[in-house]
Amino acid sequence: MSLCFSSTAFNLHSAKNQSFLTRFSSHFTNPTKVTSSLFTGFPSSPLSLSEVVKFSKDRLKPISASTTVTPSFRNKSPEDINVLVVGATGYIGKFVVKELVDREFNVIAIAREKSGIRGKFSKDETLNQLKGANVCFSDVTNLDSLEKSMEELGVSIDVVVSCLASRSGGVKDSWKIDYEATKNSLVAGRNRGASHFVLLSAICVQKPLLEFQRAKLKFEDELIKEAKEDSGFSYSIVRPTAFFKSLGGQVELVKDGKPYVMFGDGKLCACKPISEADLASFIADCVLSENKINQVLPIGGPGKALTPMEQGELLFRLVGREPKFLKVPIEIMDFAIGVLDFLVKIFPSMEDTAEFGKIGRYYAAESMLVLDPETGEYSAEKTPSYGKDTLEDFFQTVLREGMAGQELGEQTIF
């Protein structure tokens, strides 16, 4: 069953909503049953009143944008543009929804009934996280379910924004989410008239050694092919560098006097990290900006590229301690990966464990910067900067408030 709600306030005193309430009372066929025709997106079978009222009525709002399919959505005002967001409850997705709502787009956010890491958030909590959006509870991994939800919603879609990403990076999960679920959102959106697709990808797909990178690239290729075959369809592929949260795992350790751990000499890799808010702003820009149409868009945060050594030095300066580093030979990871690859041949169930090792090795040695095709080297100069939030700002916030809300997902190195 798919349910659609709005987390925008419901004005009981407006003429429009007084009419809605009149229709609400007239639809009772008995004291405990109400038909689904009251709310766009509800299933056709009767719902018990208790099922309806457990989500406050002030969160229910019909989607107001036109149902007329038109490829010229860029000529419309934001409030008349329907933007479908999948991956809406993810780390970046929540900020993208907020940014789009703040820009007054008509946002339709797809969410699981149990969202967040290991499904820890209830429907009520999800509605609170996605305030201002029309929230549709559905399953992006099931195309039939997703298309049924869109049909019940009863409106056209102008733009799809995908923030979907595998939480674990495991082999099967990567293909299920980074490719299959993302493709489902493209198909469902196109079937409802979407003429633009904004994809949150990753800069590391430039050098695809991992399953999630291959899955993302396969979808990127199909998205580009779709635009080449249909001149009325366009895309923007956003490839961000490292997120702040991926660099925050050692803040508490350093604060407690522990050494900062890094691989090799601390200069094996570098990045221009970007905050979730700045990245969300860039993604929202892609909805209407014509100079971002049919482009692959690498993007980093403001300032110079930082190596792990420089990140550690910054952190020690902020906590007022002398730098103390623990340098781990990268060969240790190579040995561990070799052992895991051997064990997988005997125990196939260890496939994801081996993949996690490769993910750790990749991020320990590869820069999150643009890979210059001419030199084969990572280039800080060719990695665009965007936004205003700095890593120093982020570290200061974590030192004051901790890592609440910055969960690192299913598997981490530190």
| CATH number assigned to the domain comprising residue 191 | 3.40.50.720
Which residue, 172, 173, 180, is CA-closest to 142? 180
Q: Is residue 145 part of a domain?
A: yes
Q: What is the pLDDT of residue 129?
A: 85
When divided into structural domains, the chain yields a total of 1
Question: Domain range holding 279?
Answer: 74-241+275-299
Coil, helix or strand at residue 264: coil
d(CA 138, CA 146): 6
Phi, psi of 29 (to 5 degrees): -95, -20
Which residue, 137, 190, 181, 138, is CA-closest to 162? 181
Residue type, 355: E
pLDDT at 102 > cutoff 60: yes
Q: Is residue 64 part of a domain?
A: no
Of 18 and 153, the structure prediction assigns the larger pLDDT to 153
Q: Is residue 338 part of a domain?
A: no
Q: What is the CA radius of gyration of the chain?
A: 23
Q: Is residue 197 part of a domain?
A: yes
Phi, psi of 22 (to 5 degrees): -65, -45
Q: Which residues pair with 326 in a beta bridge?
A: 261
Q: What is the pLDDT of residue 72?
A: 75
Q: Is residue 99 part of a domain?
A: yes
What proportion of the chain, given as a percentage, has pLDDT over 90?
70
Contact yes or no for 179/140 (Cβ under 8 A): no
Q: Which residues pair with 262 in a beta bridge?
A: 327
pLDDT at 29 > cutoff 60: no
d(CA 250, CA 312): 9
Q: Is residue 253 part of a domain?
A: no
What average pLDDT does this structure show over 3-13?
A: 44
Which residue, 274, 261, 328, 262, is CA-closest to 305? 274
Which residue, 241, 263, 217, is CA-closest to 92? 241
Among the ranges given (65-69, 87-91, 204-208), the one the predictor scored with the smallest mean pLDDT: 65-69
Model confidence over 366-385: pLDDT tens digits?
999 999 999 999 999 999 99
Among the ranges given (15-19, 207-211, 236-240, 372-376), the one the predictor scored with the smallest mean pLDDT: 15-19
Q: What is the pLDDT of residue 128?
A: 83
Q: Is residue 61 part of a domain?
A: no
Which residue, 267, 402, 405, 394, is CA-closest to 318? 394
d(CA 82, CA 235): 16
Helix (H) or strand (E) holding 3: strand 3-6
pLDDT at 185 > cutoff 60: yes
Number of other residues whose CB lies within 10 A of the CB of residue 278: 24
Going from the C-alpha of 106 to that of each of 14, 233, 280, 358, the distances in angstroms are 20, 20, 16, 40
Q: Is residue 247 part of a domain?
A: no
pLDDT at 225 > cutoff 70: yes
Of 42 and 405, the structure prediction assigns the larger pLDDT to 405
